[in-house]
Structure 1
Amino acid sequence: MKILYSAPNRAHHYIYAKGLFQRGGLYKFISGFSRLSKRSPITEPGFPMIKADLLQSLYVLSLRLPVGYRFQRQLAYWAKLEQDVVLSRYVPGSDLILFYNGCGLRSLQRARKLGVVSVVEVVNSHIAYQEELLQEEYKRLRLTWQGSPKREVKRRIAEYDLADYILVPSEFVRQSFLEKGFPESKLLKVPYGFSLPEVRPVKRGSDSVIEVLYVGSISVRKGLRYLIQALSLLQDLPIRLKLVGPQAKVSGIADLQLPDNVQFTGVLKGEALEQAYRGADVFCLPTLEDGFGLVLGEALSYGLPVITTTNSGGMDLLTDGEEGFIVPIQSAEAIAEKLRILATDTALRDTMSRKAFEQASALDGWAESLSRLTAVLKACLQLKSQDE
């Protein structure tokens, strides 16, 4: 098995690349992750990494300079094309190409001509699903919608259509492709693994105030307005909300009258973030669209009952009514209902806390995720050999 793997950033991609290399299946890894980052190198001896990050590095620099937004978007687009060009050079020596959506159309076309198996990796729902959902939300909030450039949307969809398979991280993402008419046989689901801290179950304090924690960006996409609106429906209960994360230019909550029991902390890391988890009673991720909410695993590891939406990847991590609740998107009423249950039923909250901790201990690590990835890629190659 000679896998040609390409990715524009670090995230889980370095883990996948190193794991495939250690299992003897990696042919080349084309990395678009900027060399300006201290985390850029992979020190594994003999690791076959090829850098395709010149334009990505220029894009990273542009974010620190007073240049226009349009120019930054253009650089970001060119960076993806650069990665595609470099990737295409190595297609002839591979059995299978695995590439990040938006960065491989040229390589994909070459792979099809050469009979090389192609897998496009997506980290979020179908791009058309995302665009439709977020455009509707911006319109509802009377905000200016920019969306993804049309040429990028077109390119991503072309890759979906031309690839032999689509690698998805969650049931939510898989369903978004099924809704767009893709056959189940084309979709490969491999959830991400977790490297969770070793946390002992937290004994919650006797404070009568229930603290709800959110960790993530303060943005329209994350659906925070619905969590804040839910609090306004619970004024008879002692609840406070702690929001941890950076604020986007368009937050989606600027028009709301924020109650006194909402606290913004900004970005927290290390011990400060750990203390935020330890001090909470409930975790809420009210997102409109997240391919796989890794913060949900972190929250479970601290024994926090979770309230999240159907569009978070939560269905792959917890069972509704056991370790928490899964609610519809854009529903302050549904969030308020579940918060009221957890705030007023101490026994249930304690039970869910225990189950959350147990569930976190049972979540797959990266070794299991890599084993699953390797198995599905081998199966793709075996199917091809049977067809020949």
Structure 2
Amino acid sequence: MRVVLSVVGKFHTFELAREMANRDVLSAIFTGYPRFKLRQEHEVQAQLRTFPWLYAPYMALRGRNLLKGRLLKQWDLANCLSFDAYTAWRMPPCDVYVGLSSAALWSGRQAKQRGARFVCDRGSAHIRVQDRILREEHALWDMPYLGVDPRFIEREEAEYAEADCITVPSGFAVQSFIDQGVAPHKLRRLPYGVNLGSFARNGQAAADRFDVLFTGGMSLQKGIPYLLQAYKLLQHPRKSLSFAGSFDPTFIEAMKHRGLWSDDIVLLGHLPWEALSRRMSQSHALVLPSVQEGFGMVLAQALACGCPVIGSQHTGAPDLIEDGKAGYIVPIRSPQAIADRLQGLADDPALQQRLSQEALATVQHIGGWRNYGDQALAIYRELL
């Protein structure tokens, strides 16, 4: 079997590439990342094909907050179109082509014309469901929302129709496609793994405190207002809420304006994996209350560190844990449910310790990225 992968950025596709390379089936991986930023990807150096000419400046300008609004949308579209065209032009012979959605339409068609199977890899809910939920969320909080570019919606739906198979990481994502009329036989649930070498217990939660952690970008999509509301409801003399990841000062001001921000909140910024693993190990709970997310990899990472998790039904949490074992599953937009679970852990240290031990056992059962590679390869063999 010969497998070709494509991804404009990196995401989980490079984990998949390493697993395919370790099985000696990877023919090529196309990416928009410049080669010098991929020097650590030793297993796939021979198979790397880079097209960084739009993606690298896109990331640099966006990181400096110089790309906004319609200009951001236009650049994003041009980036995906040019990358897709390059992948289609340079694609080597293969049996299976796996392209991350939005930038795999032309390359997927090219692969099929050459007799290969086309797998559309979608890391989130159906794009129309994603857009609807986010539109509703921004309306609820009276915050501006540009919406998903209709050209992206048209392009992704063409990919869904063209693909021989669509892989998604969670049951929530699968159901979103079915609700939009996609045939169930075309869908495959493929949950992401966790790097057990990078994430492992590295410390203990303090006995005289109650520390809550959120990891990821600060946005309405991540359900941050509901976490802030829940934190205000939590009763503990030495409580803390820390945010690890990017944060937007404008968003924080909006939360302050609504009376949701607390002065004791800690902004950690981006943490290297060693520091993040340590912070997860020292936290009493990690909360991921997203209203829309294909699969929250931070949930599995926290479990690997022995940190109980509280995840919404739209984060992939139901694909990782049973409610009440290693953590809890809560409805979206439910600060009271989050607060009740946090209060139960804060009031009962023995319960927190039990869930911590269950978290370690759960993630060992889930396995690392090797299990993900095994499942992916089984899907590709089935297609052939």
Greater Cα shift, 275-284 or 122-131: 275-284
| In structure 2, C-alpha distance between the alignment counterparts of 1:22 and 1:232, rounded to whole Å | 48
Give the 3 Å change call, closer, same or farther, for CA 21–302 of structure 1 in structure 2.
Answer: closer
1:295 is displaced (CA, Å) by: 1.1
| In structure 2, C-alpha distance between the alignment counterparts of 1:273 and 1:103, rounded to whole Å | 31
Coordinate RMSD, CA, aligned: 2.5
Q: Name the residue aligned to 1:255.
A: 257
Greater Cα shift, 223-232 or 81-90: 81-90
Greater Cα shift, 101-110 or 252-261: 252-261
Q: Name the residue aligned to 1:229.
A: 229
1:367 aligned residue (352, 367, 370): 370
State the Cα deviation string for residues 16-75 of structure 1 (Å, max 9, x = none): 22332332322332222234x533574448823322222222323433678553434322
Task: Report whether the alignment pairs 1:206 with 2:207.
Answer: yes
Other structure's SS at 1:63 match: helix
For 2:287, the aligned partner's letter is: C
For 1:190, the aligned partner's letter is: L
1:371 is displaced (CA, Å) by: 1.5
| In structure 1, C-alpha distance between the alignment counterparts of 2:43 and 2:204, rounded to whole Å | 41
TM-score normalised by L of structure 1: 0.89
Task: Report whether the alignment pairs 1:96 with 2:96.
Answer: yes
State the Cα deviation string for residues 255-287 of structure 1 (Å, max 9, x = none): 332234433333333554344223321221111
| In structure 2, C-alpha distance between the alignment counterparts of 1:242 and 1:102, rounded to whole Å | 33
8 Å Cα contact 2:202-2:281 kept in structure 1: no
| In structure 2, C-alpha distance between the alignment counterparts of 1:270 and 1:42, rounded to whole Å | 16
Q: Name the residue aligned to 2:53.
A: 54
| In structure 1, C-alpha distance between the alignment counterparts of 2:88 and 2:300, rounded to whole Å | 36
| Residue identity (%) | 30
1:353 is displaced (CA, Å) by: 1.5
1:228 is displaced (CA, Å) by: 1.1
Greater Cα shift, 256-265 or 351-360: 256-265
1:354 is displaced (CA, Å) by: 1.3
Other structure's SS at 1:246 match: coil
Task: Report whether the alignment pairs 1:344 with 2:347.
Answer: yes
State the Cα deviation string for residues 87-116 of structure 1 (Å, max 9, x = none): 223558332221110112122333444543
| In structure 2, C-alpha distance between the alignment counterparts of 1:106 and 1:226, rounded to whole Å | 40
| In structure 2, C-alpha distance between the alignment counterparts of 1:237 and 1:126, rounded to whole Å | 43
8 Å Cα contact 2:120-2:160 kept in structure 1: yes
Residue ranges of structure 2 left out of the alignment (5+ in a row): none
Give the 3 Å change call, closer, same or farther, for CA 275–181 of structure 1 in structure 2.
Answer: same
Residue ranges of structure 1 left out of the alignment (5+ in a row): 382-388
For 1:256, the aligned partner's letter is: R
| In structure 1, C-alpha distance between the alignment counterparts of 2:265 and 2:370, rounded to whole Å | 39
TM-score normalised by L of structure 2: 0.90
| In structure 2, C-alpha distance between the alignment counterparts of 1:77 and 1:192, rounded to whole Å | 26
For 1:283, the aligned partner's letter is: L
Q: Name the residue aligned to 1:219.
A: 219
1:258-273 counterparts in 2 under 5 A? 258-270=261-273, 272-273=275-276
Which one has the largest radius of gyration?
Answer: 1
8 Å Cα contact 1:224-1:253 kept in structure 2: no
Give the 3 Å change call, closer, same or farther, for CA 186–63 of structure 1 in structure 2.
Answer: same
1:309 aligned residue (304, 312, 315): 312
Q: Name the residue aligned to 2:298.
A: 295
For 1:310, the aligned partner's letter is: Q
8 Å Cα contact 2:201-2:281 kept in structure 1: no
8 Å Cα contact 1:58-1:75 kept in structure 2: no
State the Cα deviation string for residues 126-153 of structure 1 (Å, max 9, x = none): 1111100010010111111112211112
2:282 aligned residue (279, 282, 292): 279
Q: Name the residue aligned to 1:110.
A: 110
| In structure 1, C-alpha distance between the alignment counterparts of 2:271 and 2:42, rounded to whole Å | 29
| In structure 2, C-alpha distance between the alignment counterparts of 1:25 and 1:147, rounded to whole Å | 39
Greater Cα shift, 327-336 or 359-368: 359-368
Q: Name the residue aligned to 1:171.
A: 171
Q: Name the residue aligned to 2:151.
A: 151
Give the 3 Å change call, closer, same or farther, for CA 294–123 of structure 1 in structure 2.
Answer: same
Greater Cα shift, 303-312 or 273-282: 273-282
Other structure's SS at 2:38 match: coil
